[in-house]
Structures are given as structure tokens and as C-alpha cells.
Amino acid sequence: MHSVSPHPSLSRDLQSEGSVPHQLHALQKLNSSILCLASDAAHIYSGNQDNDILVWDKKTFELKATLQGHTKSVLALVYAEDKKWLFSSSGDSTVRVWSTITLKPVYIIDTYPETGAGDLFSIAWSPSLQTIYIGCQNTSLQWFKFTSSFSDGTTTPNGSVIRKVHRFFDSYPQFAGKPADLNANNPQTPISEITSEAPRLAVPATNVVESEHFGYIYCMTLMDEGKSGYGVTLATGSGDETVKLWKCTSSGPSVIHTFECNYGAVLALIGQGQTLYGGCQDGHIKVLDLETNTLVRSIIVQEAVDILALSLIDSDLYASSADGNVTRFSRTFDCTASWHAHEGIVLSSLITKQNDGNYMLITGGNDDNIKIWNVVPPSPRFQAEDILSDRSQLGAESISYALAKFVSIPSISCYPSYREDCRQAAIWLKKCLTQLGAKTQLLPTSESEGTNPLVFGTFTGNQGPSSRPRLLFYGHYDVIPAPPEGWNSDPFIMQGRNGYLYGRGVTDNKGPIIAVAFAAAELLYRRALGVDVVFLIEGHEECGSTNFSTAVDKYKDQIGHIDAILVSNSTWISEDSPCITYGLRGVVHCSIEICNKLPDVHSGIDGGGVAEPMKDMINVLSTLIDKQQRVQIPGFYDCVRPQTEGGERALSAAGCCDTKSQHLSGPSNSAVISGTVKSQVSLRIVPDQKLEVIASSLCQFLRSSFSELESPNELKVNISDPADWWIGELDHPWFKALESAIHEEWGVEPLRIREGGSVPSVPYLEKAFACQAFHLPMGQSLDQAHLPNERISLNNLQRGKAVVARFLVKVAEMGNT
């Protein structure tokens, strides 16, 4: 009996009853595969294998007309709304232009003849450049620009243009004894008809790029103009397993990046915003991020089954495959519908609006059928629309509105299933900072999948000298999970109750990020920003700041000189006393595993006969602390910095370290002796303990304690995600400026506190930029960070913004001292 291997896709199957779209209608053209589709407000256009373009009425679904002229299969269709034109490309190496008003031919465009372009698999139209781009079988990318006159042809008496005759490609067989003319390759169309109804144009030799791709250019798409960061951006997919991005200008396209897909030919492309989807020959869909030029996800639809067409409606992606199936994926790349649409291969797809305002998915196959399905846009979990319609409106209402949008994105970094939500949170924050006046971009933290980008933004000061101080604000857009148990409201729908805003991330760390951004934006709008405020927001803080330091090192020159670092990632020690944090403890996380290399056994049968890993674990852990709660690791206290009265004036004496067993796993049945027992230990460190020394000493001590047991079992210890301690400079002028800003806003002196938690990136950033960090907590002690009903006081959020604004003004007045 053979076992069935599980499907390799990581996409969850979230299909439900009724999730498959309903088929509204079917259109049929006998014995002709439907190779391409396009539509306008009134028509559906289908390009067929038998050389024709069928025009269907969008309201009645009746065949309205047949456009004839191509001599080989119609391979691609594009509707140009601005011109009311339909472009069609074919295996006959021509692009034809049709009027969608009269359904008559307008132009015939011949590709550059010397190259022998072959089949024209793909075309794309740029309204702003008035240019048609053509992807060819011979691997060339060609383009033709429409202007008021065409210099490459001859002008007829009525002002139309025909291309010049080519003595080789427009020649007759030698026995015919006729000179070359335009009828040689189009004998069915008299020259009189061409010149009077469809002027013939030619792609000039200067409008050809050869050898950038090393395979057929099967597909192309133009990304949203103005949103790519490069102006008009063209994406092309090829048989060479790559996707290329082209910056398009009036002088032509130039390659700006190449994505290596490595999973067969790229047969379909579609894009939205900063995201590009590539359907590949092997059944994979590559999700490509244009902001960071990275591969962010691979979706396995069905291995070894070609993805031939892709369509998008909002965040829903429809993939059409060679097995006749259509599969829908959500914004988190989970499968929400899959159905057998055609008896054969699905060759083309299109989503368009119906006359009644609803949407329909149109699919075409090699079963001679066009199928029409009703589709509904997904309900938005979060919106990425403009944060502010007017930047002058920077008050409390706008802050709450922006924070609600930010919180609605469940950017949980520890779960792979939320990876796309994290990326969308980064994209949203980038757009938010841009609208507030910052120059922004996303910086990749790795070239591989599974890492979230950094959001990098700079509010450039508009007041004072050009040599302004530069302040780096560090934060994180990721959050920890929020199981619904214990919450009084949806954790990802922010709610205001009794002066507090509730939702996951409102205090840790999305609320403070928004407050600081609005503080910088307000000063910028008032032309009172005398410092450069550099935002560096990561997406992995809640799971160890993966690749953060590596990415910062890589982009350090781009980030530029930094004079100081501001952090707001903790809370007060009470509900009513504003604080300033000047110290953080470090932490060493250690996992311990003891096993006897045996399966679990029954205590009634084997109890006393086996060396129990659980007993060993208890004995080892008990050696870490004595009865006076002192850590027993040799030399642990040797380097601890003595407390000072001034440094601890706001706190009563507290333990300087915290060693505890956080998690011990064994059998849930007390009658079972587990063969493997695991535990997690965290060890907090303080100034001036050395992180590497403490971590090494802990491992050595655990091994020594275990060896004294003389147990036959095996011990494994592993250190993960260590973080160093941090201590601020109380006498630094900027520290005093921050204290003064708090005092002016709240009317009381802030408490100086040292936080028990750890923020690994703070000591690293200090070392990386050779400057001091300052930590301003905005939340209160009962804000429930990491717990159900996380909250932040609306008053604290607003006054936190005011404190930051006051601080920035004071720093600007001090200059670079």
C-alpha cells in the first residue's frame, strides 16, 4: 500500500461551501482555442487560434462582429482606453490596431524585419508614453511610439503612413519575376485597402532591444505608473526563467532589475501596486516585491502544471492552469476557492466590470469555450488609502485614524502565515510616512524568502542651517499573536473606550511610531523642523530582530550620519507618573533538552528501571539558584556595576537578574515517563556583565551540573537571540533636553527608570552609529503589552507626540553640540 505525499503548498485550504464562483454564461467558437482576452465597457474580445478576433456584446453575450486580418493565431490583446483602440498581436509578426468604436482597422504595425521577430506572444500599452511594447519569439523587446507624424515611413496623399518596402522580407519567389512590395506577405489584402483603411507602420531598428532575455518573451505587464518609483515600469517574463523590470522613457526601455525565478518559463504576469506576480511553467507563482526587488513568496498551485494566466481583483489572485483548473488565493496567499473550469487547458483569463457594476471573471480554454463567472471583491481587512487628505490636519483625530489603519494589519512576525501581512504593514507605513512628508523606501533584510523589510524614511528639516542634527527613531511594526480569548473586542479592529484605544500593537509599538511621525510632520508643516528625523522601523523585533544588524550594516552609508537615537518601546512604572527610561537589562535565552533515546514508557511497568529525563532536568535546574535566590553560576556577579543613589532615585531596590524556568515540557499523562524533556531558561543581565561571557558560563555550568548526576542520558543546550544590556548617559545634553520636554508638557519632573525588559537593537544601534540612545516610554504600566486588551491612553498618545515635538525643537536649538 503506497502512502500519498501531502501537497507541498504552504497555503492553507480555506475553501468553504459556496466559495466557488457561479458560472454566469458560456461563449463558444467551434474548433478554436481561446488564446487571449480583453474587454472595454461594451465588449468582450477573444483572440483565437484560427486568426480571428471575436467581439461579444458584454450585456447580451451575443457575437457582435469578427475582426479579420491576421494570418496566424492571435496571441495577445490589449485595450487602450485613452485611444479607444484594441491592440492585437499574432504569429504573423504583426500588431494590428482596431477602433473599438467602429470595429475597423486603424493601423498595422510590422515588427523590425531584419530580426525575424516570429510569434508576438505579448504586448503592453503605456498611455503616458503613447507607446506599444512587443515581446517577441526571437527574444527581442520592440516598441513603437505613436506621434503626430511617423518618420520611418512614407506619407500617402491622404496623410496616412506606410512602411518602406524591404527587399528581402517583402520579396516574391524568384520565378514570379516581380519586384518586392507590401503585398508579398499579405496577398489577401490589396495595397489600396491598406493605404486607405489601415496604414502600415514599422518598428524602426532603433526601437529594438535584443539579447536581454535568452528565451521567448511570453508575457509582459505595465505596473501602476507613478507607484513603482521609476515612473513607467514594464515587467517582462521569459522562457529563460527570469522576470525583468524595465524603466520606460520616451527614448526607450532600460533594464533596472532581473528576478531569477528558476522554476521553468515565466508564462503569465500581473501586478498591483508594488507587488508583481509571475506564473511559471512548473506550477509555481512567484510573488515579487518591486520596492525591495526581492522574492517574498512562492505559491505552489500544482507542481509541474503550467500557470498560463493570472488575474487580480483587489487582493484576490486567480490562477489559471494547464489542467483546466482555476484557483483563487487571498491576500495571505491561502487558497479560498478552486474549481475545474475547462475540459482542457485554461489559456487566458480576465476580470472586468459588468454593466450592473458587479465583476466577472472570464476564462478561455482550448476546449473552444469562454466561461464567465461571477466574482466578488474581497472584504478589505485593512485599507491602504490616503492617510490624510490635508497634511495640515495633524491633530488627535488624524492620529487615531492613522493608528486604526495601522493596527488593522495583523503583522504577526512569528507566524509564516502572516508574512504577507507584515510586508503589507511595511508598505502601509511607508505610504503613511510619505504622506506626512518623509522621503521613504523599503530596505530588504535578506534576499531570501521569510524576512520582513525595514521601513526607512527621512523627514528633512526645513529650518536652520544645512548641517542640522540627525536623529534616528527606531521602532518595530511587527506585533505578537493575539488569540481572541480574553479580548473584549477584535484585537485588529481598534476601539476607543473611556479614554483608551484598544488593539494589538497600540502601545507596542505602532502607537508610538505614529505619534513620533506626526510630531515630525507637524513641525515640518509649520516650517519649524530644525533636525533631520530618520525613521528605521523593523519587522522582526518580536522574534529576535532577524537580520536587522546585517541589514543596517549593509545600508549604513545610505542611512547616513546619526547624532542620536530615539526609542519609544516601553511603559511607565505607574499610571500617573511620566517617566524617562535610561537603562534596559540584557537577556540570554537558553533551551535545554535531556533525552534517553528511548520512546515514552509506562511508569507502572518501567518506573525505577529507566533513568528519567524529567528527574535529571529538575536536578539540573535546581542548581541554578540557591535558597537565597542567588545565581550559582561562577563569576556571575563579578562585573555587576554597583547601584548609585542618583541612578535609582525613582525605584526601590530590585533584583539585578532574573533567572527562571519559563517552560518545561513533558508528558501530559502523569503515568508516562517521557523519553525527552525540554525547558527554556532566560537569564537577565545588567551593567557591566559581558553577554558572551555569561552565555558561555551558563552553558558550562549546566553541563557541569549534569555531569555530576552521572546520568546515562544526553544533554543538549543552545543559546538563542541574546540581547545586551543598555545604560544611558544621564548627563548628556540631549537627555536633559528630553527631560525638560517631558516636564514642560506634563508639569512634573519625569521619573528616571531602568526597564526590566530588553530591546536588542538599542545597544547595537549605539555601537553601529557611535552615538547615544534615548528612550521615551509613552504607555502606562497597565497597558497590557503582549496581553489581551492591549491599550494606550489617548491622552498619553497625544502628549507623547507633543513631548517629541518639544524635544526636536530643543535639539535643533542646541545644534550638533
Strand partners, 441: 456
Task: Yes or no: say if 365 and 351 are a contact pair by the CB < 8 Å rule.
Answer: no
Q: In degrees rounded to 5, what are phi and psi of residue 5?
A: -70, 140
pLDDT, tens digit, 9 for 90 and up, residues 47-56: 999 999 999 9
Sequence-distant (6+) residues with CB within 8 A of 532 are 458, 459, 460, 461, 468, 469, 470, 471
pLDDT, tens digit, 9 for 90 and up, residues 286-334: 999 888 888 888 888 998 999 999 999 999 999 999 999 999 999 888 8
Per-residue pLDDT at 154 exceeds 60:
no
The long-range contacts involving 744-751, CB below 8 angstroms and separated by at least 24 positions, are 744/806, 745/578, 745/799, 745/802, 745/803, 745/806, 746/578, 746/799, 746/803, 748/577, 748/578, 750/577, 750/578, 750/579, 750/580, 751/572, 751/573, 751/577, 751/578, 751/579, 751/580, 751/650
pLDDT, tens digit, 9 for 90 and up, residues 386-420: 554 444 456 677 899 899 999 999 999 999 889 99
In the chain, the domains with their CATH numbers are 23-152+204-375 (2.130.10.10), 396-584+727-814 (3.40.630.10), 586-723 (3.30.70.360)
Task: Yes or no: say if 760 and 724 are a contact pair by the CB < 8 Å rule.
Answer: yes
Question: ∠716-717-722 over CA atoms, to 5°?
Answer: 160
What's the grid cell of residue 426?
A: 511595511
In the prediction, which pLDDT does 394 show?
63
In the prediction, which pLDDT does 391 show?
41
Task: Yes or no: say if 94 and 111 are a contact pair by the CB < 8 Å rule.
Answer: yes
Task: Yes or no: say if 85 and 99 are a contact pair by the CB < 8 Å rule.
Answer: yes
Q: What is the mean pLDDT of residues 508-536?
A: 94
- What is the enclosing helix (H) or strand (E) of 535? strand 532-538
Whole-number Å distance between alpha carbons of 135 and 142: 7
Whole-number Å distance between alpha carbons of 487 and 643: 40
Task: Yes or no: say if 349 and 219 are a contact pair by the CB < 8 Å rule.
Answer: no
- Minimum mean pLDDT range among 8-22, 227-241, 385-399, 480-494: 385-399
In the prediction, which pLDDT does 292 show?
84
Look over the chain and give the mean of its residue pLDDT values, rounded to a whole number: 86
Q: What is the DSSP letter of 467?
A: S
In the prediction, which pLDDT does 544 show?
85
Task: Yes or no: say if 715 and 702 are a contact pair by the CB < 8 Å rule.
Answer: yes
Highest mean pLDDT among 155-164, 232-241, 540-549: 232-241
Whole-number Å distance between alpha carbons of 75 and 334: 31
Whole-number Å distance between alpha carbons of 519 and 804: 6
Whole-number Å distance between alpha carbons of 169 and 434: 53
Strands 335-340 and 325-329: what pairing? Answer: antiparallel
pTM here is 0.71
